[in-house]
Amino acid sequence: MKIQSNEKQRASNIIWSASDDYSIQSEFKIYDENGRADLYWNYVIGAVHKYYDYSKLQKFFSLIKQDSDYDLYVNLTWIGLENCVYEKGKAERPVLESMRKNYAKKVLNNGEKPSDDDVYGIINIAHLKRALGEEPIIKEQCSEILNRLEFDEFMNTDDIINRMNYILNVYFNFNPSNKKQILLKKKFNNNKMIHFGEKSKQLINGVPLFKRINIGSAEYTGNINFDDGEEKRNKFVLHWLMFKEQIDKNEREYIQNYFGTSILPESTTKLLEQNICMENHMNCHLHVTRGEFDNNQEETFQQKITLFQRKKNKEYYNKNIARNNNSISKLTNKIKNTMLINFQSSPNKSKAGKLVSEKLWRNIYLNDSKVFLKNVYDDIGDLSVDIMIDASASQINRQEIIATEGYIIAESITRCNIPVRVYSYCNMRNFGVINLFRDYNEVNKNDNIFNYCSAGFNRDGLAIRTAIHMMKGSTYEKKILIVLSDGKPNDITKISSKSLNLANHEYTDTVGVNDTAMEVRKGKQKGVTILCVFTGKDEDIPAAKKIYGRGMAYIKSPERFADIVGILMQNELKNLN
């Protein structure tokens, strides 16, 4: 395709404008299929020069250039760079959102579906779907890579390079600083990888292969000629992902290294699995943790991410401290007032309290232990609240908000002297992970809720079932479960073929919603009040209502949070009485 000189100049102008540096002689310019300068991607190129030290990125690209799959690695890096420059620039340039969505729609509407062994294609399509607000269903390893790749606006150049080194090392078993490994892998893959042509012509000074980013054409200052007749599809066989899967034979150890050590003995965990991981969840396992690691264990990348996210959660909370304190006060008062009105003069038979001597015979002859009277308001210990927070990757863009909401509810209930337990849930591989932030008696540990960090999938039915089982083991007579959820169950582990119903179905959409709704009904039948604070998108409200019914609160405005949750709590407390 011949590019007109005016379009070349236009591409340069876009790059200069985005970089705020008219001295840049960009190594490449991007054009659409009609030969016109691509506005969005030329902006991305310029913005990378503006926000980051491009000389460091060039050195990183040069370091991996010797590897047989460097083209894949470079293109993955550019997915991350696109994401972070968009996040950095969207406030300053509101038009970026529509530009990005238009580009994503254009690529997705092309209808070209990546094959199962096209790692870049799978991840790129998933990234574009996320840009449109969708949640793609892809293989778990690819989902993990994408979560790591979508760099945020707070990362600097060194952070980006360190993150890419981690991704290449963990998911592709490639260490850019290990020259011996590069040579061995190059020899191993010599006859197994399909590339564009001669490697010496694919990349100059770390220039990405924009043909793989669904652009019409790319112009380079070097003598690079992409002839459509000679171009071959670059597929990276999932050899290294499969290799990663094989070396992680001990799945439980992998989960423990990722989320933290289990707080339960292995025998207790297996007994728990026997009681919970049945029927639609037959192939699942459980891991209950506090997010703590062995003292002698080297700090993992996930630990660093969790600490970084905690910092962001706290900063967001403190940024809105006045509003949050007001919400806590309002919600606390609503709960206290409801308890005062409804529980202050409600003497009930009980196993403890004031002895009713004339009823003592019932204990002797009828084995009736309820020969005491108690005032419910004076004995708040009769009621407990569990708060369970969806920590799947679908919440990745709302983590700070969700952590704040969880803290406000927990702190308000704590101030009412009601025992509260708080934990998050997600699924990774075939494990349901419960991360305990605080238990009923840990009144001073609400701050741990800011450790909330999202990852993996969400098998909501299994999470509800696990929560109900945990609550059943407590001594409290009246139990409330509050779930912070987007109402969108989604797990990569299919329903077992041995299950009596819904066999071999993907755990998503209608199947996931129906399974979760069934577990909610079962929980209510066991006497547990189940409420939902909706944390998702408008389009998922019908699914959440189907799951939780009238026990769902949808907060459109942070200022209305205490009012709406307060009304929900008031109604349920009245029903308990």
Q: How far is the CA of 354 from the CAs of 341, 375, 478, 516, in angstroms?
A: 22, 9, 20, 42
Q: What pLDDT does 181 receive? A: 47
Describe the strand order of the beta sheet including 552-554 as a list of residue ranges.
Answer: 285-289, 431-438, 420-428, 383-390, 478-485, 528-534, 552-554
Q: Please, what's the b/e burial string for 147-163 (b: 16 or more CB within 10 A of its CB; e: otherwise)?
A: ebbbbeeebebeebbeb
**Per-residue pLDDT, 112:** 73
Q: Give the CA dihedral 119, 122, 127, 128, nearest 10 degrees.
A: 140
pLDDT at 350: 67
Task: Specify the pLDDT at position 3.
Answer: 67
Closest C-alpha to 453, from 306, 288, 303: 306
- pLDDT at residue 447, rounded to an integer: 97
Please give the pLDDT value at position 188. 40
Kindly list the structural domains of the chain, giving each domain's residue range(s) and its CATH number in brackets, ordered by start. 5-239 (no CATH), 301-345+375-576 (3.40.50.410)
Going from the first residue of the chain to its last (577 residues), give the mean pLDDT of each consecutive group of 10, the final group possibly shorter. Answer: 73 85 75 81 90 90 77 88 92 89 88 77 92 86 87 91 86 66 45 28 35 45 32 38 46 86 90 90 91 76 85 95 94 88 63 69 68 57 89 89 96 94 92 96 96 92 96 89 93 67 69 94 94 90 93 86 87 78
